[in-house]
Chain A
Amino acid sequence: MTLVLNRIDDRLIHGQVVVGWGQPLDVRFIVLVDDAVAASDWERELYRMGVPPEMELRFHSAAEAAPLLDAYRLDPHPGILLTGDIATMRELVLHGGVREVNIGGIHHRAGRRQYMRYVFLTAEEQQALRDVAALGALVTAQDVPAARAVPLEEMLAHAEDV
């Protein structure tokens, strides 16, 4: 197995990730890539307490994570690569090897426009997702496994009607 899900989710560790995806995919480890979380003992402990004991949680800054991804892909167990924002995922895609990107949750904030129930983007973030796709990654939005994976361009077109 390998990294079975590369997810952008501003809530990072939460129910959809640990239970919704984690259980059906039999996920044994999560690689959480976030500069602020990686630099804070308190933040790391907060997230560590949110995962079941059988699930390993690794924390890295974006710069640390990029060269480690190949090793994570060789892990015999299934794992999730998780970032809290598009810029961090774009950095990892740029490094190579991330072929699919799941948009799991980018929520409302001033200056963002709604594209789906759980996806709100600024114009810059919209472009950043297109950049990720242009790098060769298949970008879809899907909050939970039972939902349909909505292709990036379909999602962005839908916003015209919101």
Chain B
Amino acid sequence: MSEPVAKRALVAGHGDFAAGLVSAVEAVTGRGELLDPIEVKGLCGEDIQLLLRKRLQAIGATVIFTDLQAGSCTMAARRLLREMPGVLLASGANLPMLLDFVMSSADDAQAAARGAVERARAAISVYEAPT
């Protein structure tokens, strides 16, 4: 089943964060192609912003997932939002968030992303052995 192009998103973060998460999404759902992992090693903030803009425009996406709130990808994406106000940024991305995004039945990517953020919050748990 093919997915609409509008449901695609960028994933950006430290080290191999993006490639690793997208690889995990592909392994679990087979829908890794809905996410575009961005490699930013060695780039300054300005170049990260430029790369994000290019990739968003190239694939027609309006959603960016990043890792740390204070991370350079998040900072670059927040600057980009000033130029591209129709883009939605979700920081603190994790695997449950991206899985929910690619599996969402929402019509558009931003609605899917908003729902995914809420589901991801609820997916964090702590388990301890019973005493």
- List the interface of chain A (C-beta within 8 A of B): 10-15, 17-19, 42, 46-47, 49-51, 105-109, 117-118
Determine the distance from Cα of A108 to Cα of B40 in the docked complex, in whole angstroms: 11
Give chain B nearest CB distance to A98 CB in angstroms.
Answer: 23
The 8 closest A-B pairs by CB, nearest first: A107-B44, A50-B70, A14-B72, A18-B70, A11-B72, A15-B71, A15-B68, A10-B44
Known: A19-B70, A49-B69, A50-B69. A14 touches B75 (CB 8 A): yes
Determine the distance from Cα of A105 to Cα of B48 in the docked complex, in whole angstroms: 14
The reply to whether A50 and B44 form a contact with Cβ atoms under 8 Å apart is no
Give chain A nearest CB distance to B108 CB in angstroms.
Answer: 26
Determine the distance from Cα of A22 to Cα of B44 in the docked complex, in whole angstroms: 20
Determine the distance from Cα of A42 to Cα of B68 in the docked complex, in whole angstroms: 20
Give chain B nearest CB distance to A88 CB in angstroms.
Answer: 15
- Contacts of A42 on B, CB cut-off 8 Å? 82
A contacts with B: majority SS: loop
Determine the distance from Cα of A42 to Cα of B78 in the docked complex, in whole angstroms: 11
Determine the distance from Cα of A10 to Cα of B82 in the docked complex, in whole angstroms: 20
- Contacts of A14 on B, CB cut-off 8 Å? 45, 68, 70-72, 75
Known: A13-B70, A19-B68. A50 touches B43 (CB 8 A): no
Contact of B79 among A17, A46, A105 (CB under 8 A): A46
- Contacts of B43 on A, CB cut-off 8 Å? 107-108
The reply to whether A108 and B75 form a contact with Cβ atoms under 8 Å apart is no
Known: A18-B70, A49-B69. A117 touches B42 (CB 8 A): yes
Residue of B nearest to A46 (CB): B78
The reply to whether B44 and A15 form a contact with Cβ atoms under 8 Å apart is no
Contact of B14 among A13, A15, A106, A108 (CB under 8 A): A15
